[in-house]
Structure 1
Amino acid sequence: MRILITGSNGLLGQKLVALLRQQPGVELIATSRGANKLASLYPEVRFVPLDVTSQEQVQQILTQERPTHLIHTAAMTNVDECELNQEACWQQNVTAVEYLVEACAQLGIHLLHVSTDFIFSGEEGPLSEEAVPAPVNFYGESKLAAEKLVQASPGPWAILRTVLVYGTAHDYGRTNIVLWVRDSLRAGKTIQVVDDQFRTPTLAEDLAQGCWLAARQNATGIFHISSEEVLTPYQMAIRVADYFQLDKLLIQKVDASLFTQPARRPPRTGFIIAKARQELGYRPHTFEEGIALLARQTA
């Protein structure tokens, strides 16, 4: 197998590189916009610069590298940024996918596309793969449009949807709920955490594992990849405080209405992962196991 990853500098991209470089029989090509952040960690991994919003580059690199599988992780994922900069969001999340779908179909490359729970309205959850999308923000609209492009492809494809991904990565500016809660409480800060939104939080390593299982089995169709535990961010914060033995009194339970954000959030999502368990052999960590892994990685 020859697997090309887009967005290899991102959280999921980095976890995929770490996982796939160890798999026998896998030739790996990491691609990202900008310099290779993993050069010092994995000097043996082939890296090719690629801006997926350039049709010329997409065609050129895929023709040159001829991967058997492409795992597309590159995206604009900051939900409020997408709401405020809709043109940039559409270019990165939809136009880029159009170019990748076209090139993959032409070259016979199996395309694995990573999507999101934010394509749903949030009126109910957890959700199966058959649930009807109805996004409430522009980020969700862009990801749904991308899914439709992938589904219309004449070539082989799989869509892996996920929820609230957390993890730690090398030279990575963004934080996540586990580290934010831990570091805030360690500093003695009071934090406000919503208790009226419901998610199935996903460890980045689990999402990478789901991508690898789908690629290895040439899986096609839509798969929901997350944990099985439906939690509110407040419940997650309490568990983080318990794990690190920090002061839970610093955590204030609030409603989402307290915050003014450019983009609406779906109140209740979360995934039913029975299909991924049965067809892919997917086995996620519990949230406690995820916290423990992050604790070891950031010790």
Structure 2
Amino acid sequence: MMKVLITGSNGLLGQYLVELLSSLPAYEVIATGRGANRLRMQKGYQYESVNLADESAVKRLIERTAPDVIIHAGAMTQADDCERSKDACWMVNVTATRYLLQGAEKAGAFFLFLSTDFVFDGLSGPYKEEDAVNPVNYYGASKVAAERIVKQAKVPWAIARTVLVYGVADDPRRSNIITWVKSNLEQKKKLKVVNDQWRTPTLVQDLAEGCKRIIDKKAEGIFHLSGKDMLTPYDMAMQVANYLNLDTKLFEKVDASSFKQPAQRPAKTGFVIDKAERELGFAPRSFEEGLKLVIEQLPEK
């Protein structure tokens, strides 16, 4: 029985990790998040409310639960929020990672850290694991700093970087590109969609499965876990509209520069996932397959 502590369990990836691992007899899951447990599925695992910025609370939790593995998926991920609230971003993304790692070192736990394509500048994507990091915004910089801390850990560690994760969340306030396009086009609203940024979008179920493979193998090092299709938001929106037979004439192609956002975005990221395919047997779905799955999962109005 592997005891797994998951941070950020109320987030999209956290939700799917809790569901995936707690449904299998080989794992005992301790889920942690800020405040109350907001997942629909409330049974089959233990939930602990913890503020990751509280050093003693974090260390007490790890001491009390003695996990074999810590999956650190909790983070401040909205790039514009990070740009506006740099202290809060650093606290959640960097300092909390240090607290968790210190706890992991005491417990002797394998540590899996979730990171992002925003560690790269987007000038030469798609990226391999060993490519040089060079963030263009504060969110990316905070993740680079946290990765450095993880790499110095005195326990076995892995870093799973991912790109533009999408899927159906229990929390209805969390939208994604698919639900955003669907709801706007159904209401006949015009949409400005960026056509000069490229990503390899990642279905959340695939990412959760990739994380499971890392902890099962105790695979160490950095892994790029994403989809394979290199798409712009405009490409994704078109696929959603076409699949749902919605009016694509409501789209307006725009450059990213037409949006005034506090955080700069890298132009072309996306990942080369050969290493994850080879070493983990990682096999992500295409965006088209992911799109169908998400549409099927959406609750009926």
Into which bin does the TM-score normalised by the smaller protein fall?
A: over 0.9
RMSD: 0.9
CA contact (8 A) 2:162 2:224 kept: yes
Deviation per residue, 1:29-63 (Å, 9 max, x gap): 1111100112x523232111111111101110100
Q: Distance in 2 between matches of 1:150 and 1:97?
A: 8
Is 1:87 the counterpart of 2:58? The answer is no
Per the normalisation by structure 2, the TM-score is 0.97
8 Å CA contact 1:10–1:172 kept in 2: the answer is no
* Distance (whole Å) between structure 2 residues aligned to residue 235 and residue 33 of structure 1: 35
Alpha-carbon contact 1:11-1:172 (below 8 Å) kept: no
Distance 1:267 1:60 in 2: 42
Structure 1 residue 171, shift from structure 2 partner: 2.3
1:45-83 deviations in Å (ceiling 9; x for gaps): 211111111110111010000110011110001100000
Equivalent residue number for residue 284 of structure 2? 284
Instruction: Specify every segment of 5 or more residues in structure 2 that has no aligned partner in the other structure, as ranges.
Output: none
Q: Which residue of 2 aligns with 1:206?
A: 206
Match in the other structure for 2:43: 43
* C-alpha distance in 1 between matches for 2:293 and 2:212: 20
Q: Which residue of 2 aligns with 1:18?
A: 19
Q: Which amino acid aligns with 1:24?
A: P
Q: Which runs of 5+ in 1 are unaligned?
A: none
Q: Distance in 1 between matches of 2:26 and 2:135?
A: 40
Alignment partner, residue 8 of structure 1: 9
CA distance in 1, matches of 2:279, 2:23: 23
Q: 1:4·1:28 contact (CA, 8 Å) conserved in 2?
A: yes
1:219-253 deviation digits (Å, cap 9, x = unpaired): 11000000011000000000000111111111111
Deviates more, 1:169-178 or 1:257-266: 169-178
- C-alpha displacement at 1:257, in angstroms? 1.1
The residue aligned with 1:272 is 272
The amino acid that maps onto 2:284 is: P
Deviating beyond 3 angstroms after TM superposition, the runs of 4 or more aligned structure 1 residues are: none
Q: How many residues align?
A: 298
CA distance in 2, matches of 1:94, 1:131: 21
Equivalent position of 2:127 in the other structure: 127
Give the Cα–Cα distance (whole angstroms) in 2 for the partners of residues 172 and 218 of structure 1.
Answer: 34
Match in the other structure for 1:30 = 31
Cα distance in 1 between the residues matched to 2:27 and 2:103: 21
1:167 and 2:167 correspond: yes
* Counterpart residue identity of residue 292, structure 1: K
Residue type of the alignment partner of 1:2: K
Q: Percent identity at matched positions? A: 49
